[in-house]
């Protein structure tokens, strides 16, 4: 295994440069294209100098789902024996992602190996990482159904590895009442969604049930570190399909919470594609994996999952810009109609 080196900070005079670059970028996958990144090209000489001659073959790219102006590149990292290792450069990275990538190096098969990382790049106040390139994935149909098992197992390893990190005081809860109002207002004013009357009826019923839902949801324990963006697109492997294990990527949204948040988030991505699951119950799979690993699994988790489904489905009309696929919107309506009964 290549030894990870954490470079020493080199100054903070480049805050203006860092502010001009947007973080929160998705990890590279096979679905990427060459892209001349202005940020990457401008910082390339400083990056090469920081890597002391051990980095070569930089090729900047963007993934199909990438947002913002952050930069990523494929490259080769030359290890202590001089052997080239396929690598990925990502800059800038938010502090939370840098922390978790470093912390998870001690765990087995959770996150990609870090070759180099630092909180600054030359004179610039710009956190960055150089890590192994996971050659296969994201997880998909090529894994013949095993993609769900591999992803759930990877999430379980993350939960185990994260338990050693102290939890801060819980932050404020999402304002679900405001979300419900936004959803109802969107339906009433914009008229750009199918089954408008059904949505009006379901949201009216959800508003009446919201107090009950929140009495359950806000009382849940928040003693887990949640990945925050748990989906197949954020799980890749070192071996070709259908082999594993899978490793998780994109740690920018890790936060204290309840494991049901990760579980129902993954499930809701398949509300409109239930046939793709082949009868699998994803939330149950994660509950069983936690039990197998000796992690807490509360007896009321099915009720928590039902509440979270209702809250997520209710929020759909307020989130059409980010999650407005018509098939998903209709599936969310069907879920909401079930949960408000």
- Among 70, 17, 60, 72, residue whose Cα is nearest residue 36: 60
From first to last of its 341 residues, the chain has per-residue pLDDT tens of 345 666 543 333 333 333 332 233 333 344 555 555 667 778 999 999 999 999 999 999 876 555 555 689 999 999 999 999 999 999 999 999 999 999 999 998 999 999 999 999 999 999 999 999 999 999 999 999 999 999 999 999 999 999 999 999 988 999 999 999 999 999 999 888 999 999 999 999 999 999 999 999 999 999 999 999 999 999 999 999 999 999 999 999 999 999 999 999 999 999 999 999 999 999 999 999 999 999 999 999 999 999 999 999 999 999 987 777 999 999 999 999 999 99
- C-beta separation of 26 from 74 below 8 A: no
Helices 176-190, 196-217: axis angle to 10 degrees equals 180
Domain ranges in the chain are 5-132, 141-339
**What kind and span of H or E run contains 128?**
strand 128-132
> In the 8-state DSSP scheme, what is residue 141?
G
Question: CA 115, 106, 66, 46 torsion: positive or negative?
Answer: negative
CATH topology of domain 141-339: Aminoglycoside 3'-phosphotransferase; Chain: A, domain 2 (3.90.1200)
Secondary structure of the chain: what % helix, strand, coil (to 5)?
45, 15, 40
CA distance 193 to 186: 9
Task: Collapse the DSSP code of 5 into the 3-class scheme (helix H, G, I; strand E, B; otherwise coil) and give the result.
Answer: strand
pTM: 0.87
Could you tell me the two tokens for 136? Answer: 């296969």
Task: Collapse the DSSP code of 156 into the 3-class scheme (helix H, G, I; strand E, B; otherwise coil) and give the result.
Answer: helix
- C-beta separation of 230 from 110 below 8 A: no
């Amino acid at each position: 295994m290549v030894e990870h080196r954490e470079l020493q900070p080199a100054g903070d005079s480049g805050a203006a440069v860092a502010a001009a670059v947007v973080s929160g970028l998705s990890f590279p996958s096979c679905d990427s294209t060459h892209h001349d990144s202005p940020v990457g090209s401008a910082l390339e000489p400083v990056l090469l100098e920081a890597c002391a001659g051990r980095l070569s073959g930089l090729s900047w790219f963007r993934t199909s789902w990438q947002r913002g102006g952050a930069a990523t590149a494929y490259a080769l990292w030359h290890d202590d024996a001089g052997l080239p290792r396929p690598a990925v450069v990502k800059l800038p990275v938010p502090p939370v992602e840098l922390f978790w990538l470093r912390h998870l190096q001690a765990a087995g098969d959770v996150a990609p190996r870090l070759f180099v990382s630092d909180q600054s790049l030359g004179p610039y106040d710009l956190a960055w990482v150089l890590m192994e390139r996971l050659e296969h994935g994201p997880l998909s149909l090529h894994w013949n159904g095993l993609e769900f098992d591999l992803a759930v197992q990877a999430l379980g390893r993350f939960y185990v590895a994260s338990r050693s990190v102290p939890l801060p005081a819980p932050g404020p809860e999402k304002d679900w009442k405001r979300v419900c109002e936004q959803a109802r207002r969107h339906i009433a004013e914009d008229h750009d969604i199918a089954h408008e009357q059904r949505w009006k009826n379901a949201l009216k019923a959800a508003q009446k049930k919201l107090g009950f839902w929140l009495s359950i949801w806000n009382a849940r324990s928040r003693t887990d570190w949640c990945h925050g963006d748990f989906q197949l697109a954020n799980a890749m492997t070192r071996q070709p399909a259908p082999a594993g294990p899978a490793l998780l990527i994109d740690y920018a949204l890790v936060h204290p919470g309840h494991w049901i948040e990760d579980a129902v988030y993954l499930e809701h991505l398949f509300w409109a594609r239930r046939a793709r699951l082949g009868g699998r119950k994803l939330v149950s799979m994660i509950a069983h994996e936690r039990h197998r690993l000796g992690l807490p699994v509360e007896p009321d988790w099915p009720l928590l999952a039902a509440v979270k489904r209702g809250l997520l489905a209710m929020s759909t009309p307020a989130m059409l810009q980010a999650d407005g696929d018509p098939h998903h919107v209709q599936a969310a309506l069907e879920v909401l109609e079930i949960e408000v009964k």
